[in-house]
A and B are shown apart, each in its own frame.
Chain A
Amino acid sequence: MTDIAPARFERPSALSFLGYVFGLVIIFWCLAGAGFSVEKVASAPPRFADFASRAFPPNLAPDVLVRLGWKMVETLQIAIAGAVIGVILSVPVALVAARGLIAPPWVNQIVRTALGFIRAVPDIAWALVFVVAVGLGPFAGMLAIVIDTIGFCGRFFADDMEATEKGPAESLTATGARKIDVVACATIPAAMPAFISTSLYALEKAVRSSTILGLVGAGGIGIELKVGFDLFDYPTAMTVILMISVVVIGIEQVSGWTRTKIIGEQQ
């Protein structure tokens, strides 16, 4: 019986061994390129402690809280408006991107490549582009969120529709329904739980993004963070950081609860 038992550890083949070595070399090469320094890591805690001592207690003066509160509201407005418009626009884009639905394969490929390009450009870069296009302010930030959401949701909505059970669609096709009717009546309802889940993630992502778009003048609370650090007003900067943390965690909690409530109950 012991003869047929597999060895506890398989001896790797020469090719596998070379692969492991190559992987390790790549990791060390990347660490070197990233300027990894044990000395800096060792010296960071005292510096961090110095920053913390200057930043705490955070600035909780009522006028500062009111000003930052309104900036946070603006941040949420940018995020929600951008995410909602982005999600709505993502549906037709995804319909054209999804293979085997309404568009021929070459169109699917072009749209998927375009969505890949949108995702490859960071949201802060999109914000810079829109600041140039429409000027400083929250509108540029909202447009950046819209385009970023289309890149994210367009791809995942398309994948969700491709992954749906094909049976209901076939049953409707067999009775003479048009492609668009089949998609509306069978494919989209089947993909709806995944759409909702993806949309809520997009909203969370939009809220996180919108907090830093102000760094490039695209509205929201990010500008307050930048000014706080530029003026060495660390207590106010710490207030901004704490405010962002509370809002982002809060949005994640609400999103998770909504996801469970809608999708959980539907399933």
Chain B
Amino acid sequence: MTDLGVKNRAAPLAQSEPTGAAFAPVSPVDIEARGVTKRFGETPVFSDVSFRLARGEAVALVGANGTGKSTLLRCLMGLIPATDGSVHLLGQQTDRSKASVLRQLRANVGLVSQKHNLVPRLSVLSNVVHGLLGTYPGLRHWSHTLAPPPSRAAALHALERVGLAHFAGRRADRLSGGQSQRVAIARAIVGAPKVLFADEPCASLDPSAGEDVMELFFRLARDEGVTVVFTSHNVTHALKYGDRVLGLAQGRMRLDATAASLSAQDLRGLYD
């Protein structure tokens, strides 16, 4: 971190270990990575990544292409296993949890991806109802036509919050990029998650739509007090929306600092 001219303000690995860090979390820890290493075959992606994220923190994960931001995000969600180290999500170690436990854990998680990842041939409302499948598995949540009234109401409410309730019956592939991403946000928040992950949520949008999506996403996240981890190449977004910034470079965690203590120039160092 010193090579980037940024103070090392890494959060401690365990709450009981006082380190004197400026922002050692006092609220519950939602995500904890301990020495996480990921390799694909013999190809290393990143090594020995450790950090803790407290409840309600918004954390930007930055770094150049190929540094493993998206891979790290997937490791944190337990979608792919870490090669080494451990990840605790909402108090459970993901790599040691049974599939059923992991699914229950993920019912408290929402994901917004760069490509929106809506099911194109289905209606907007069905796509949002799918966000409840973690909590209510089974046939009744496969489509909005089968969904019980409370689930339909929850999905419509989520669409209202992103300003798209009037598009509930429209097919998802008839939406603009910005509208699709707002529906993806509605799907992510409909289950009232405790943790939201966003993988370059505005990378496929024009600057104006991207700004709108980021504003909306973080307004909703802060309203609910959820923990947010998002990846971004946009240093302005990282500093504006993140309470804290984690930076990956050369396969290592090179930066862990509060957004307030950083400048755009500091982050650009990660891309050199």
Contacts and interface: CB of A to CB of B under 8 A. Distances in A.
Nearest to B138: A181
A190 interface: yes
Nearest to A175: B134
B120 A171 contact: no
B130 A176 contact: no
B105 to A, nearest CB: 7
A107 interface: no
B207 interface: no
A176 B79 contact: no
B249 interface: no
Interface stretch (B2-10, B36-44, B111-119): B111-119
Interface string A188-223: 011011000000000000000000000000000000
Given A167-B113, A181-B142, A172 B122 contact: no
A236 to B, nearest CB: 49
A260 interface: no
B118 A176 contact: no
A173 B126 CA distance: 16
B68 to A, nearest CB: 17
Interface stretch (B183-191, B230-238, B264-272): B183-191
B197 interface: yes
Given A171-B184, A185-B142, A178 B103 contact: yes
Interface string A240-260: 000000000000000000000
A184 interface: yes
Contact of B111 (A174, A181, A184, A186): A174
Interface in B86-122: 102-111, 113, 115, 117-122
B117 A167 contact: yes
B137 A178 contact: yes
B106 A170 contact: no
Counting contact residues on chain A (CB < 8 A from B), the size range is 20 to 34
Given A181-B138, A189-B122, A176 B111 contact: no
Nearest to B143: A185
Contacts of A175: 106-107, 109-111, 130-131, 133-134, 187-188, 191, 193
A163 interface: no
Contacts of A173: 79, 106
Contacts of B133: 172, 175-178, 181-182, 185
B109 A186 contact: no
Contacts of A177: 103, 130, 133-134, 137
Secondary structure class of chain A's binding surface, majority of residues: helix
Contact of A171 (B117, B137, B141, B193): B117
Contacts of B131: 175
Interface in B171-192: 184, 187-188, 191
Contacts of A168: 117-119
A2 interface: no
Most buried by B among A168, A176, A184, A266: A176
A186 B119 contact: yes
A240 B96 CA distance: 68
B130 A189 contact: no
B27 interface: no
A63 B107 CA distance: 69
Contacts of A172: 130, 133
A176 B104 CA distance: 6
Nearest to B100: A178
B135 interface: yes
Contacts of B130: 172, 175, 177, 185-186
A168 B110 CA distance: 13
Nearest to A174: B111
Most buried by A among B79, B107, B122, B184: B122
A196 B247 CA distance: 47
A89 B156 CA distance: 36
Given A176-B104, A185-B142, A171 B187 contact: yes
Contacts of B142: 181, 184-185
Interface of B: 77, 79, 102-111, 113, 115, 117-122, 126, 130-131, 133-135, 137-139, 141-142, 184, 187-188, 191, 193, 197
9 contacts: A170-B79, A172-B133, A174-B77, A175-B106, A175-B188, A176-B105, A181-B141, A186-B130, A190-B121
The 4 A-B pairs with the shortest beta carbon distances in the complex, nearest first, are A176-B134, A176-B106, A176-B107, A177-B133
